[in-house]
Structure 1
Amino acid sequence: MSQPRRTIWSCELVTDFLKQVLYHEDASSKAIVVCSTREYFLEQLAAAVRYGTTTPEGHELTTDAIGLLSRSKDVNLAFCETLEHLRAYISVLDVTSTKRQETTSDESSERPLLAVLNPLALHLPTTEFSAQGLSRTLAAAVEVTAREKVDLVLCECVDSMNSANCGGDEALWNTEVPLLNGTARIGTEENVSRGPSVPVKKVAQRWFEFNDDRNIYRQQQ
């Protein structure tokens, strides 16, 4: 079996992310970690319908997303509304506990998958939206997936409830962040920080490969 992959997806909407995980990823088990509350996730999902699809999968997701995920035998869904919660959760996560009952590790060549939705947005309002803070979170996730031998995917979707943000999901990855936690930030709209800074994408590239194809799900239809 090949080495575990660590990838950052480019999915514009939450529905695109879910469809990619549920319908286009072969894995022995799947853990989806949503970096928000359950209520906010559902609001984002409902808002995405305006820009959504007419496919059967899209209809099922938008009408009963939580029910669909909870009924799936090989999917574990969790919500982490704070950075501390996210780090604590992934540090003890056992992705293989959701493994399909009808297969065993000896019978399946598929790796488990851990997919984390909107981790950057969770850092954004904190003093840890910095190279130091992001590195701490990303390294923790990589350590767990390397130990458990699972594939790891990160995805940052746009805010579907803000039409001004529906042009793409690259803004946060291209944001310049200070090197250390707690560095004073100035020029909010321009994302300018006082002192040395680095693009978020460069921090992530230490561990992850970027999928630069715009909206991987729609290209597979």
Structure 2
Amino acid sequence: MEPTRKIYCCDWVTEFLQYILDTTTEPVSLIICSTRDSFLVNLALTIQSQPKHTPNIQELLKDTIGLLANSTRVRLIFCPTLEHLRAYIGVLRPTNDDNVQHGTAAGQNQRPPLVAILNCLALHLPTSEFSAQGLSRTLAAAVEVTSQKGMDLVLCECRDAASSADPMRGEALWYAQVPLLNSAVRTGGDNAAGGGLTVPVKSIAQRWFECSGTSRSETDTTII
């Protein structure tokens, strides 16, 4: 079965983790674009914000972390900087166990191993590479490596539970307008950067990815 590449849209990290756990049976490399501590804090705050009728917060947190930690098919990778992310993508490959399971699954017409990247855009946001040039470099590298290795690829941007009103986190980032070139190479004024032209992040990603289930309109854009 041919590998797929898609963008999954949801608000909260708990939703994305549940999607990974509930809808996949293949081996998963879950790349989280933050430190481990930041991820755990965000996860805990997200669970605390759930409706009051949900089960005990500690139990929810324990269950989610436990499912990830004890899963034989989910591998957690933390990439706190863009350099870490690109370096890991460069050496990304299925483990021996992934290959064995995929070989068995292929005979059953199941999916290839999955690479899931959480908050890739947010990792670019504070850098000089939140641009068409910088984002294309990262996304193209991920697409090339996963295609060569026969792995599915899914991206997701989730809101920050510590700052839930932040307009520059979560799905909004797919609609952000970014310059064509990295800020580090935009010298000589706007003319050197392509006359100040910008492009929506989503249109960059759509060169390679299928977008699913958006809750925003195409005209609902955020300007960078």
What residue number does 1:173 align with?
Answer: 174
Say whether the 8 Å CA contact 1:90–1:144 is kept in structure 2. yes
Letter matched to residue 31 of structure 2:
V
Say whether the 8 Å CA contact 1:75–1:98 is kept in structure 2. no
Shift of 1:55: 7.2
Please list the CA deviations of residues 60-101 of structure 1 after superposition, one character each: whole Å capped at 9, or x if unmatched: 652254443222111110000010110110111123445297
What residue number does 1:5 align with?
Answer: 4
TM-score, length-normalised on structure 2? 0.80
Say whether the 8 Å CA contact 2:47–2:60 is kept in structure 1. no
**What SS is found at the alignment partner of 1:176?**
strand
Letter matched to residue 109 of structure 2:
S
Distance 2:69 2:19 in 1: 17
What residue number does 1:49 align with?
Answer: 47
> Does the alignment pair 1:152 with 2:150?
no
TM-score, length-normalised on structure 1? 0.81
Shift of 1:152: 0.2
Within 5 Å, which residues of 2 pair with 1:57-76?
Answer: 62-76=61-75
What residue number does 1:90 align with?
Answer: 89
Distance 1:30 1:71 in 2: 13
Please list the CA deviations of residues 157-208 of structure 1 after superposition, one character each: whole Å capped at 9, or x if unmatched: 0011113149x83311111100001167xxxxxxxxx811101111111110
Larger CA deviation: 155-164 vs 124-133 = 155-164
Greater C-alpha radius of gyration? 2
**What SS is found at the alignment partner of 1:171?**
helix
> Kindly tell me: are residues 104 and 195 of structure 1, through their superposed partners in 2, closer, same or farther at Cα, counting changes over 3 Å?
closer
Name stretches of at least 5 consecutive residues in structure 1 with no aligned partner: 185-193, 215-221
How many residues are matched?
Answer: 202
Say whether the 8 Å CA contact 1:61–1:68 is kept in structure 2. no
**What SS is found at the alignment partner of 1:172?**
helix
Distance 1:163 1:22 in 2: 24
Name stretches of at least 5 consecutive residues in structure 2 with no aligned partner: 187-194, 216-224
> Kindly tell me: are residues 104 and 143 of structure 1, through their superposed partners in 2, closer, same or farther at Cα, counting changes over 3 Å?
closer
Distance 1:21 1:10 in 2: 13
Say whether the 8 Å CA contact 1:130–1:179 is kept in structure 2. yes
> Kindly tell me: are residues 213 and 25 of structure 1, through their superposed partners in 2, closer, same or farther at Cα, counting changes over 3 Å?
farther
Say whether the 8 Å CA contact 1:30–1:98 is kept in structure 2. no
Within 5 Å, which residues of 2 pair with 1:8-157?
Answer: 8-27=7-26, 29-52=27-50, 62-99=61-98, 103=101, 105-106=103-104, 107-110=107-110, 111-157=112-158
Q: Considering only aligned residues, what root-mean-square deviation do their CA atoms show, in Å?
A: 2.7
